[in-house]
Copies of this chain bind each other. A is one copy, B any other.
Amino acid sequence: MLRTHTCGELRLTDIHKTVTLTGWVQKSRDLGGMTFIDLRDRYGITQLAFNTNWNSDLVEKARSVGREFVLQITGTVIERENKNLMMPTGEIEVKVTTFVVLNSAVTPPFTIEDHTDGGDELRMKYRYLDLRRNTVRQNLELRHKLALETRNYLDSLQFIEVETPVLIKSTPEGARDFVVPSRMNPGEFYALPQSPQTFKQLLMVSGFDRYYQIVKCFRDEDLRADRQPEFTQIDCEMSFVEQEDVLQVFEGMIRHLFKKIKDIDLPPLPRMTYEQAMREYGNDKPDTRFGMKIHDVSSLVKGKNFKVFDDAEVVLAINAEGAAAWTRKQIDELTEWVKRPQIGATGLVYARHNPDGTVKSSVDKFYNDEELSGWAKELNSGTGDLILVLAGPETKTRKAMSELRLEMGNRLGLRNKDTFSCLWVVDFPLLEWNDGDPNLLASLAGRWHAKHHPFTSPKPEDIALLSSNPGAVRANAYDLVINGVEVGGGSIRIHSSELQSKMFEILGFSKEEALKQFGFLMNAFEFGAPPHGGLAFGFDRLCSLLGGADNIRDFIAFPKNNAGRDVMIDAPSEISQEQLHELRLATLPLNKSV
């Protein structure tokens, strides 16, 4: 090694030792006769001292190095005069005796500090410099530790990590696949997996019993904020289990991770049905760090000649505790906020629960005091609270109310990143109607679409509804939700080839299509498939949650931007004609009709 110690290692007990350190110049201070350099590596920072009284040549040399130069120095550990007890190495410094510049550095385009002056785009372009910042490096250290603890936990329960293939077959029933042309098989393509779903089910058919994998998956979707075309899952599957077994094992995993990473003892995770989540939170991934549940006040408010409410399919209300003091201006601004196209409400009705116990609303001409007291009672509001009401079509209004609830949670400081509220959402619907999801191929519109995926088992008691009322069939499916984020999800799978065929039929596959796409799985089920189920966690998201951050990008070493581009390496990019020709492919001009 070019060093004897790291820059985070030396203490008072090392005094008088001769040491060699390597690292980057964090900063240097020139105090006339003395020069100090902070030398940084992954492990910490050590102060280097130069003094004209010791060696004036060395001081000259030290003055000439700039930020981010790479140095190798040898010297003696001495006690500092001015100790810095905020730094682990702050009681010592190294009196430098020899000094090599291993590499010079041009000035970085932004400062390598916890709070940098670099904007997002610049940081992405020079990601290798951004990664020098402690905060970003610590995120990736957390990711490493999270992966290791995940493996330790699952290994202790006899799960086997099995690598499944990356070059697989395109199955355009879900989101779009990335495809890979095969040179050896011209005209044919591999696809990159959106998940190892079918392979992990085959491993259960093989008797692997308990499988996991921390694995890259790929989805070619129009990227929204904070989605990546490649992402990492903790993918798991178990045999001879019922839903309760899966929930127990993975609740244990989440508890293990919180304990090891955050030293937090999570309480047992509550369960909530999809129906309840939609009703009380307007959302299948409720943020339960705070209450402010949604109440359907339709029956309470209709029939009082207020046309907006009378004409609405549904009238929903929440109680924002302690917000009665909000000014008219604040409420007007909130009204504008709910009317933005992303939220889509047509207006906002409110009622203040005043300190004197009266309730005053923005629609007082339609509702008398007694009626408004009825609102307060329904919403369990007290003096000082603010009731907010939205009305309109059911689905849209529930969604808007969910957004408003989260926004009020933000504004009232109820969504602290260091507080964690975890729960299981269960009993999802098996199917949903696709009326033109832009993330699916256009040819799949106007069909039932699997809410989780086509291998999810319906609840046995709902199987009879499959033909008569597919939308009402509930699945043995579950999501793990933390702080309003879906962190994981899974299901008990179908293990009968007959029921699986039936599912493909409902999803609009012809027998031929089903066989062509998934024949191998249905065949496998003929040879003795065990009951099985599992789930997958979004690893990037789990890292960012445990890291107390909003976005996943800073927990990915080399992320892509919202256009799916790696701006550092400039990918994707054109390839040579020679490569295209070998693949028997031609690119079509953008304006050519196809």
Give residues in A with beta carbon < 8 Å to B: 1-3, 22-24, 40-43, 68-70, 72, 102-106, 108, 126-129, 131-132, 137, 140-141, 143-144, 147-148, 151, 155, 160-170, 172, 176-192, 198-199, 202-203, 205-209, 216, 218, 220, 222-223, 229-230, 232, 239-242, 245, 441-443, 495-496, 520, 524-531, 556-558, 560, 563-566, 568-576, 578-579, 581-590, 594
Residues of B with C-beta under 8 A to A181: 179, 181
In chain B, what residue has the closest Cβ to A214?
B163
Residues of B with C-beta under 8 A to A442: 578
Residues of B with C-beta under 8 A to A441: 576, 578-579, 582
State how many copies of this chain the complex holds: 2
In chain B, what residue has the closest Cβ to A584?
B588
CA distance A218 to B182 in the complex (A): 12
Q: Given B148, B168, B179, B186, which contacts A569 in the complex, CB threshold below 8 Å?
A: B168
22 contacts between A and B (CB under 8 A): A1-B240, A41-B207, A42-B207, A68-B527, A68-B528, A102-B531, A103-B531, A132-B206, A144-B161, A144-B162, A147-B161, A163-B216, A168-B566, A168-B569, A176-B183, A178-B180, A184-B223, A199-B558, A441-B582, A581-B594, A584-B589, A584-B590
In chain B, what residue has the closest Cβ to A245?
B1
Residues of B with C-beta under 8 A to A190: 178, 571-572
Q: Are B188 and A69 in contact (CB under 8 A)?
A: no
Q: Are B129 and A206 in contact (CB under 8 A)?
A: yes
CA distance A241 to B218 in the complex (A): 36
* A530 and B169 contact, Cβ closer than 8 Å, known pairs A128-B202, A240-B2: no
Residues of B with C-beta under 8 A to A203: 128, 131, 557
Q: Are B207 and A192 in contact (CB under 8 A)?
A: no
In chain B, what residue has the closest Cβ to A165?
B558
Q: Are B571 and A169 in contact (CB under 8 A)?
A: yes
CA distance A69 to B131 in the complex (A): 54
Q: Are B496 and A189 in contact (CB under 8 A)?
A: no
Residues of B with C-beta under 8 A to A230: 165-167
Which are the 6 A-B pairs with shortest beta-carbon distances?
A105-B528, A131-B206, A169-B571, A188-B572, A182-B572, A2-B240
Supply 5 further A-B pairs (C-beta < 8 A) apart from A169-B572, A189-B572, A586-B588: A131-B202, A167-B560, A179-B583, A181-B181, A190-B572
Q: Are B187 and A574 in contact (CB under 8 A)?
A: yes
Residues of B with C-beta under 8 A to A218: 166-167
* A103 and B529 contact, Cβ closer than 8 Å, known pairs A185-B565, A586-B585: yes
* A229 and B167 contact, Cβ closer than 8 Å, known pairs A151-B148, A189-B572: yes
Q: Given B40, B187, B526, which contacts A106 in the complex, CB threshold below 8 Å?
A: B526
Q: Are A169 and B566 in contact (CB under 8 A)?
A: yes
* A530 and B160 contact, Cβ closer than 8 Å, known pairs A1-B245, A566-B165, A574-B188: no
CA distance A216 to B196 in the complex (A): 14
Residues of B with C-beta under 8 A to A206: 128-129, 131-132, 137
Taking the closest CB of chain B, its distance from the CB of A137, in whole angstroms, is: 7
Residues of B with C-beta under 8 A to A572: 167, 169, 180, 182, 185, 188-190
